[in-house]
Chain A
Amino acid sequence: MSTFTKAVAHMRSSKTVMISGGTLLAIAIVALIGPWISPNDYMTTDFDRLFQSPTFSSMNLFGTDDLGRDLFVRTMLGVQVTLVVAVVASVVSLVIGVLYGATAGYIGGRVDTVMMRFVDTLYATPFIFFVILLLVVFEQNFLLIFVAIGAINWLDMARIVRGQTLSLREREFVDAARLIGVSTPRIILRHIAPNLIGVVIVYVTLTIPQAILIESFLSFLGLGIQEPQTSLGNLVSGGALQIEGASWMLLIPAALLAIILLSFNFLGDGMRDVFDARQSR
């Protein structure tokens, strides 16, 4: 059995992983097919039905907003966008962080010192501030948000991966590869990176909620996804304005956001237990 299949087997025996993972999967599936099945769409306004509270009659399951748009479809769309932003941003931070951290850790010495000083410097920079500046100055777009979030998250990933690599580097199978004549980039790619899978998976599951929070924060400030597109952050920010008369506009997306964040956190914790258990065997 490979590490991967073994890990999967362990995950299936972990309740935390199964419940939180199942919840996320269910939300993702509904978010994907919900808008497709619903008779409503995300941008048609209906001035006869402003601030409609949740109802079955017109299939406005989550009610409508101040422009009479169906909130079920918009919320599902928001979930899609939020998940995509978070996952893509995490993958960006994963790729950069793993390669950067593994290189610094493997080469070591002065290269390591310089590379990690650079990371420290970036840490000290108020990044979110720059991102906001960038977003204000330039036209806001999806890509920029991915990059912005990824650029913040890869720092942690790089640090964690470097630490792991420092200990992997001392392992005898790495010496064996060096003796055989395997080149340094290939050792990093073939021997170091695959052995980082455990930590990386755990860490990614824990960074996704961070990315979601950053995206929501930017959207809340009106700097994220632009109308008529939407995200959970956008919906929460819109709902917050109507808290008096139409509380569902805030409560439903906020609750979903909370469930998603919690599920990812539990999933991350569960995964850590799974991999810890495997390590201690």
Chain B
Amino acid sequence: MSLLEIDGLSIGYGGVDIVSGLSFGVDASESVGLVGESGSGKTQTALAILGLLPGTAAVSGSITLGGQEIVGADDATLNALRAEHVGMVFQDPTQALNPYIPIGDQLRRILIQHGLADGSDADQRVMHMLDRVGLPDAARQFRAYAHQLSGGMRQRVMIASALIAAPDLLIADEPTTALDVTVQAQILELLERIRDDTALLLITHDLAIVAGHCERMLVLQDGKLIEEGKTRKLFSAPATEHTRALIDAAPRVDTAASPQPVSGEPLLDVDNVSVSFQERDRQRQLHAVQDIDLELREGETIAVVGESGSGKSTLARSVLGLIPMRTGRIVFCGKAIEGPVQSRAIETRRDLQLVFQDPAGSLDPQMRVERIVAEPLAVHAPDLDGEARKARVISMLERVGLSDAFLQRFPHELSGGQAQRVAIARALIVNPKVLVCDEAVAALDGSVRREILLLLRKEQQETGLAIIFISHDLAVVRSISHRVLVVYLGRLVELADGEQMFTKPRHPYTRALLDAVPVPDPLAPGGRLSVKGEMPSILEPPSGCAFHPRCSYAHARCKAELPRPRTVDGTRVACHRAEELLERF
């Protein structure tokens, strides 16, 4: 008999089943991936296994863990079960860690509550666990509070607390979705390494993670299990259309082809831009962007990539005039533009548009789609009468793949993909020359993401739109970028043609990023542990080359001297050893 046995599980709210007739099992020490698009019922299933569903949920069917029934069990049974047999790791560890209790104490309480250890013995075990999950200086971190740790460190603590009671099953729900790829690789490796005999149920929307970390996988669609089997087999011969679509929609950083470089005069010339913020304490300056140069041509897509907090959004917002630059110059169509967006010429404002990451947040919740999309026309084509305006709105919506049935909807009545289409429609209705997409597809499911990327590509081919595509996800970027700019702690690290960047990176950081990206292919899963540690605080950047504490090629010089961007073999790269390393990668 399996460790976890789920039989005919249904979960409903208000008469609507969001999970129905689900049956599967997990064997001892096995690793199983549960995948599906957002809303397919993954998290609800996890909560059901943990007995954590809200009282309003109607649950039927059976879930047994080690022979013990969970559906309908009383609180005492569930508590005991959760304590000794299941550990859990969520996407957002801040929700699960108590902000008022030092993390060491939280872990110790788990041991004491369940009578697994006490006194100094408990302290020892906690220390040992914190050490195993890779918390540097565990003795000191023992007394740290959750908010004093970085996201990656918090997730490590979360894993420590999930595993300290040596449960039989570990449920990890999107454990790395909020983390950067390099840290993601570290956390996934950690999960594999320290779970020992604990079985793993890994819930994720990212097939690439499952490809590299799970023996078996389950595919969920609309609350139903549509397919299960060995990961390798499912990837090579999926039985259902939906699984095939999921696999196809997962972007590959290793093989996709980048478009050929574009030539021509620069349309937008960003020259030596720096942006600083005053820190809260008013003492220090935070240099979010430093000395970045960039040229964008008509019909070109430049991707800006880097870990979160590396200054990508800040760069884009300063170019658009939403925040002031400290130094730098922007030339657009041969004319210098400066100052905040309000003081810019109306044509310039029309020509530079932005699409945000959070599609819902960028649409005014009080306005209907028609008014949202028409608003730019009211500014830039004021003589248009009501009829003509509406006609323009309808044809624009059609261009982004929405029918006129959406005109009267409010933003909260749209799905993520639909809302992002509306945001794109609003940005494109005045025919801008440059579109900045700040993580514009990061919040979307794979299939929707692909449609949005295709839409942008089509617009570019038809209108010569130039795109600055900001993303932390290299796999997404590969298939659409003519050129790629990699930034680290606010500075340019490498700027190269897409194909070049992905096949022959010049900078150790670029190399590390590429290696860390998981690939949806069980035979070549990528996601390697490529770099140690996490990105340091931008308030205290390391001396010399900011990447040196994490770089496996660092020399004495790297610590002392800032590498300026140079042109090496046709690409811009900021590394002292770029020439030597050419051969190594």
Q: Smallest CB-CB separation from A195: which chain B residue?
A: B366
Q: Does A137 contact B (CB under 8 A)?
A: no
- Which positions 327-364 of chain B face chain A at CB distance < 8 Å? 341-342, 346, 349-350, 352-354, 356, 358, 361-364
Q: Smallest CB-CB separation from B346: which chain A residue?
A: A181
* Residues from chain A with Cβ under 8 Å of B277 in the complex: none
CB pair B342–A176 under 8 Å, yes or no, is no
- Determine how close the nearest CB of chain B comes to the CB of A36; give it in whole angstroms: 40
Question: Could you tell me the distance between the alpha carbons of A183 and B379 in the complex, rounded to whole angstroms?
Answer: 9
CB pair A3–B361 under 8 Å, yes or no, is no
Q: Does B365 contact A (CB under 8 A)?
A: yes
B350, B356, B378, B413: the one within 8 Å of A176 (CB) = B356
* Residues from chain A with Cβ under 8 Å of B366 in the complex: 2-3, 191, 194-195, 197
* Residues from chain A with Cβ under 8 Å of B356 in the complex: 172, 175-176
Question: Could you tell me the distance between the alpha carbons of A183 and B430 in the complex, rounded to whole angstroms?
Answer: 17
CB pair B362–A176 under 8 Å, yes or no, is yes
Q: Contacts A2-B410, A172-B356, A172-B358; is A178 near B364 (CB within 8 Å)? A: no
Question: Could you tell me the distance between the alpha carbons of A106 and B350 in the complex, rounded to whole angstroms?
Answer: 22
Q: Does A262 contact B (CB under 8 A)?
A: no
Q: Does B7 contact A (CB under 8 A)?
A: no
* Residues from chain A with Cβ under 8 Å of B413 in the complex: 1
Question: Could you tell me the distance between the alpha carbons of A172 and B375 in the complex, rounded to whole angstroms?
Answer: 15
* Residues from chain A with Cβ under 8 Å of B358 in the complex: 172
CB pair A176–B423 under 8 Å, yes or no, is yes
Q: Does B284 contact A (CB under 8 A)?
A: no
Question: Could you tell me the distance between the alpha carbons of A183 and B382 in the complex, rounded to whole angstroms?
Answer: 13
* Residues from chain A with Cβ under 8 Å of B322 in the complex: 175, 178-179
- Which positions 197-231 of chain A face chain B at CB distance < 8 Å? 197
Q: Contacts A173-B361, A195-B366; is A181 near B410 (CB within 8 Å)? A: no
Q: Does A143 contact B (CB under 8 A)?
A: no
Question: Could you tell me the distance between the alpha carbons of A183 and B350 in the complex, rounded to whole angstroms?
Answer: 13
Q: Smallest CB-CB separation from A191: which chain B residue?
A: B364
Q: Does B416 contact A (CB under 8 A)?
A: no
CB pair B354–A175 under 8 Å, yes or no, is yes
Q: Does A184 contact B (CB under 8 A)?
A: yes
Q: Smallest CB-CB separation from B430: which chain A residue?
A: A180
**1/0 per position for A165-180, CB-CB distance to B under 8 A?**
0000001110111111
Question: Could you tell me the distance between the alpha carbons of A182 and B413 in the complex, rounded to whole angstroms?
Answer: 25
Q: Smallest CB-CB separation from A3: which chain B residue?
A: B366
* Residues from chain B with Cβ under 8 Å of A2 in the complex: 366, 410
Q: Does B421 contact A (CB under 8 A)?
A: no
Question: Could you tell me the distance between the alpha carbons of A179 and B350 in the complex, rounded to whole angstroms?
Answer: 8
CB pair B363–A178 under 8 Å, yes or no, is no
Q: Smallest CB-CB separation from A184: which chain B residue?
A: B342
* Residues from chain B with Cβ under 8 Å of A1 in the complex: 410, 413
Question: Could you tell me the distance between the alpha carbons of A180 and B366 in the complex, rounded to whole angstroms?
Answer: 18
- Determine how close the nearest CB of chain B comes to the CB of A196; give it in whole angstroms: 10
CB pair B426–A176 under 8 Å, yes or no, is yes
* Residues from chain B with Cβ under 8 Å of A172 in the complex: 356, 358, 361-362
The A/B interface has a contact count, at CB < 8 Å, of: 66
Q: Does B266 contact A (CB under 8 A)?
A: no
B349, B361, B410: the one within 8 Å of A180 (CB) = B349
Question: Could you tell me the distance between the alpha carbons of A179 and B423 in the complex, rounded to whole angstroms?
Answer: 12
CB pair B363–A180 under 8 Å, yes or no, is no
Q: Contacts A179-B353, A180-B376, A180-B426; is A173 near B346 (CB within 8 Å)? A: no
* Residues from chain B with Cβ under 8 Å of A183 in the complex: 379
- Determine how close the nearest CB of chain B comes to the CB of A188; give it in whole angstroms: 13
Question: Could you tell me the distance between the alpha carbons of A7 and B346 in the complex, rounded to whole angstroms?
Answer: 38
CB pair B349–A181 under 8 Å, yes or no, is yes
CB pair B320–A180 under 8 Å, yes or no, is no
* Residues from chain A with Cβ under 8 Å of B342 in the complex: 178, 184
CB pair B352–A182 under 8 Å, yes or no, is no
Q: Contacts A1-B410, A180-B426; is A173 near B364 (CB within 8 Å)? A: yes
Q: Smallest CB-CB separation from B368: which chain A residue?
A: A2
* Residues from chain B with Cβ under 8 Å of A197 in the complex: 366
Q: Does B380 contact A (CB under 8 A)?
A: yes
Question: Could you tell me the distance between the alpha carbons of A175 and B362 in the complex, rounded to whole angstroms?
Answer: 8
Question: Could you tell me the distance between the alpha carbons of A179 and B318 in the complex, rounded to whole angstroms?
Answer: 12
CB pair B365–A176 under 8 Å, yes or no, is no
CB pair A181–B376 under 8 Å, yes or no, is yes
Question: Could you tell me the distance between the alpha carbons of A181 and B358 in the complex, rounded to whole angstroms?
Answer: 21
- Determine how close the nearest CB of chain B comes to the CB of A155; give it in whole angstroms: 26
* Residues from chain A with Cβ under 8 Å of B362 in the complex: 172-173, 175-176
Q: Contacts A1-B410, A176-B362; is A181 near B380 (CB within 8 Å)? A: yes
**1/0 per position for B363-398, CB-CB distance to A under 8 A?**
111100000000110111000000000000000000
CB pair B341–A179 under 8 Å, yes or no, is yes
Question: Could you tell me the distance between the alpha carbons of A171 and B375 in the complex, rounded to whole angstroms?
Answer: 17
* Residues from chain A with Cβ under 8 Å of B354 in the complex: 175-176, 179
- Determine how close the nearest CB of chain A comes to the CB of B465; give it in whole angstroms: 16
* Residues from chain B with Cβ under 8 Å of A175 in the complex: 322, 354, 356, 362
* Residues from chain B with Cβ under 8 Å of A3 in the complex: 365-366
CB pair B365–A177 under 8 Å, yes or no, is no
Question: Could you tell me the distance between the alpha carbons of A191 and B380 in the complex, rounded to whole angstroms?
Answer: 18
Question: Could you tell me the distance between the alpha carbons of A171 and B411 in the complex, rounded to whole angstroms?
Answer: 14
* Residues from chain A with Cβ under 8 Å of B378 in the complex: 182
- Determine how close the nearest CB of chain A comes to the CB of B280; give it in whole angstroms: 15
**1/0 per position for B414-443, CB-CB distance to A under 8 A?**
000000000100100010000000000000
* Residues from chain A with Cβ under 8 Å of B375 in the complex: 177, 180, 182
Question: Could you tell me the distance between the alpha carbons of A207 and B426 in the complex, rounded to whole angstroms?
Answer: 39
- Determine how close the nearest CB of chain B comes to the CB of A106; give it in whole angstroms: 12
Q: Smallest CB-CB separation from B371: which chain A residue?
A: A190
Question: Could you tell me the distance between the alpha carbons of A144 and B430 in the complex, rounded to whole angstroms?
Answer: 50
A171, A177, A179, A184: the one within 8 Å of B320 (CB) = A179
CB pair B341–A178 under 8 Å, yes or no, is yes
Instruction: List the 3 shortest-distance A-B pairs measured between CB atoms, nearest first.
Output: A172-B362, A194-B366, A181-B349
The chain A residues found within 8 Å of chain B, CB to CB, are 1-3, 171-173, 175-184, 190-191, 194-195, 197
4 additional contacts, CB 8 Å, given A2-B410, A195-B364?
Answer: A172-B362, A173-B361, A175-B354, A195-B365
